[in-house]
A = this chain, B = another copy of it.
């Protein structure tokens, strides 16, 4: 998430930058309208935070010009101009929200999150502790770092997590993950569990995937 803040008052600008970066939004600042618009038009930002009164170009002009190219990227005004007329002008220029100064940072944050929500498409997700699986995109994250698993690894981990808290017998695993419907035992499962543990860096303290001797495996929140 990259945010562009266009704000000429240094105090507010740095306050915003600091607060936003604490929330893990990568934040750039432009201190005048010309620079602001130029940066915005690079298309590198996921959200714009605009002041109205700016040297060079007003926030309104930035918003309008930006909107002619980028219809979807959210824009939020953050301005001292607080009359109804101004609010309406701001919103009509293409902004998604209009916050009046003085504002509470928490509210700003929440309104940014509202915009983020409506940007993202809903994904099916399942998780186990700090491990997250995105079933649509086949992505795996541990502590927000992406980790690549192969298809079979993913399928196996997925099966275990979907049944978290329940012991999964080896025969069930073979049936559901490998689609083999008769008795079968080479050490395939072991090999894959091993690979998953290695890639996810699961140790004895962090054994989200525990082996149940003689039966199978179990995925467990710790």
Contacts and interface: CB of A to CB of B under 8 A. Distances in A.
What number of copies of this chain does the assembly contain? 2
Interface stretch (A49-57, A85-93, A189-197, A200-208): A85-93
Contacts of A22: none
A137 B91 contact: no
B91 A138 contact: no
Given A72-B123, A107-B87, A107-B88, A215 B118 contact: no
Which range holds the interface residue count of chain A?
35 or more
A113 B88 CA distance: 11
Contacts of A150: 213-214
Contacts of A168: 137
Interface stretch (A5-13, A29-37, A124-132, A174-182): A124-132
A87 B118 CA distance: 18
B73 A123 contact: yes
Nearest to A96: B114
A125 B65 CA distance: 13
A43 B124 contact: no
A112 to B, nearest CB: 10
Interface string A50-89: 0000000000000000000111111000000000100110
Q: Which 9 A-B pairs have the closest CB atoms?
A: A43-B127, A151-B214, A137-B167, A71-B121, A137-B166, A91-B110, A72-B123, A84-B104, A88-B110
Interface of A: 42-44, 69-74, 84, 87-88, 91-92, 94-97, 104, 106-107, 110-111, 113-114, 117-118, 121-127, 132, 134, 136-139, 148, 150-151, 166-169, 212-215, 218
